[in-house]
Amino acid sequence: MKIKSSHLSMVVMAALCFAASAVAQNDVLRAAAGDKYVISARAGGVNFVEGAVGIIRKDGRGGHLLKGDKLEIGDRISTGEDGKVEILLNPGSYLRLGGNAAFEFKTTALDDLKLAIDHGSAILEVFAADDFKVTVLTPHNKYFLVQTGVYRVDVPEQGAARLEVWKGKAQAGSEIVKGGKAVTGSGAGIAVAKFDRDEKDPLEIWSKGRSKELAKITASLSRNSTRTALMQSFIGRGWNMYQSFGLWIYDPFANTYCFLPFGYGWSSPYGYGYGRYLGWYQLPPQVYMPPANTGGGGGSPVHQSTTLATQGDRSPVPPFVRMQGTTGTGRGFSNTASNPDAQPSYSPNISSPSSSGSGGASFPVREPKSPEPQSKKP
């Protein structure tokens, strides 16, 4: 009897351990190929930490922030004097904090990303458009980043916050701020003036260097290994083309996440070419339709010849295609598994009330025969 009871206890313990492990590794099991590449479409990953960086979770727990941690809405990050941290925003976008800074997420939605910077300096490298703006909140200011670009926010302990637009376009109150200009103050006290983009401090130099390094890592992603990871994650419903502009891919060799765009010809907001895109990995010729009910993740794979009718409350046009239609970023999605020289499988002529301001959009795409990694000069 004792032996049976002992065996039963061992089985129960093993089951509990397995269940705990399965819960803890749910994202990895759903998205990873083997134990190497991990695919993600979420914001909140901690991609780089240097110096003293602390975290206070929404539930009040505190500790040191580590590379690989995941941030949720309401988690508060603070850096020491020597601290630096890089946070993954929506795929393709980054927040980089310097010393003596504090921030937290307010929302993490692709089309309505909001983050609060309480004090200190931060640089945002973001893909943005009118439909996919990024909102930056400070104690007395609100900035809307409405165009792909590079932005710096400085929030002193005392005094007015300042937004510098290195590339792109932002809105502060009724003021539209373009590249090379900075806005200071709030309300009736807003002032817009030019600034010298040739003067760069260590935070700016580090941010640009990270962008260049991460673009090189994307260009080095192997076809065979990454293709397997993409397929396993796709089948596990870890991503679809209606969630983002691309995917975060963890490269075990570089020990970091990098961005893989869905469209061909994309470059980072700093201007560094990625050299890879989803179609380069020759996945089966299908697209992921948005679900009919929830309008969120999931959905079912369907062949590209299926009519792309509006389902639920989501436009049938993927965000990255909408971005290309309004900003000219990249050249679209191509999927040429059976014939690399064939016309791309995603070149829709879609008419939808929500797909563009004119009520319709056409996105023909042409593909080079052998796309190779490229890096644009800054």
Summarize pLDDT for 36-48 with one digit per residue, the tens.
789 999 999 999 9
pLDDT at 166: 97
Strand partners, 137: 116, 142
Judge if 232 and 125 occupy the same domain.
Answer: no
What does the CA dihedral 240, 244, 248, 249 come to, rounded to 10 degrees?
Answer: 30
> What's the pTM value of the predicted model, to 2 decimals?
0.77
Residues near 293 by beta carbon (within 8 Å), at least 6 away in sequence = 312
Residue 131 above 80 pLDDT?
yes
Residue 351 above 80 pLDDT?
no
pLDDT at 288: 53
Q: 13-22, 99-108, 123-132: lowest mean pLDDT where?
A: 13-22
Q: Name the 3-class secondary structure at 24.
A: helix
pLDDT at 375: 44
Residue 5 above 80 pLDDT?
no
Q: 214-223, 320-329, 354-363: lowest mean pLDDT where?
A: 354-363
Judge if 100 and 234 occupy the same domain.
Answer: no
Per-residue pLDDT tens for 190-231? Answer: 899 999 988 899 999 999 999 999 999 999 999 988 999 998
The mean per-residue pLDDT over the stretch 301-326 comes to 56
Judge if 191 and 64 occupy the same domain.
Answer: yes
Judge if 311 and 254 occupy the same domain.
Answer: yes
Most confident of the following: 168-182, 272-286, 321-335, 341-355: 168-182
Residue 181 above 60 pLDDT?
yes
Judge if 238 and 327 occupy the same domain.
Answer: yes
Say how far apart CA 324 and CA 331 lie, in whole Å.
Answer: 7
pLDDT at 188: 65
Tokens of 166: 């290195």
pLDDT at 210: 98
pLDDT at 338: 34
Domain tally, the chain: 2
In a domain, residue 30? The reply is: no
Start-to-end CA span in the chain (Å):
74
Side-by-side strand order, sheet with 37-40: 32-33, 37-40, 246-251, 256-261
pLDDT at 196: 92
Judge if 287 and 345 occupy the same domain.
Answer: yes
Helices (H), 199-245: 202-219, 223-235
In a domain, residue 212? The reply is: no
Tokens of 54: 């602390």
Q: What percent of the chain has pLDDT over 70?
A: 69
Judge if 244 and 117 occupy the same domain.
Answer: no
Confirm if 321 and 242 have CB atoms less than 8 A apart: no
Amino acid at 345: S
Judge if 277 and 357 occupy the same domain.
Answer: yes
What does the CA dihedral 271, 276, 277, 282 come to, rounded to 10 degrees?
Answer: 170
What mean pLDDT value characterizes the chain?
76
- Residue 329's domain comprises 224-362
Q: What percent of the chain has pLDDT over 90?
A: 53
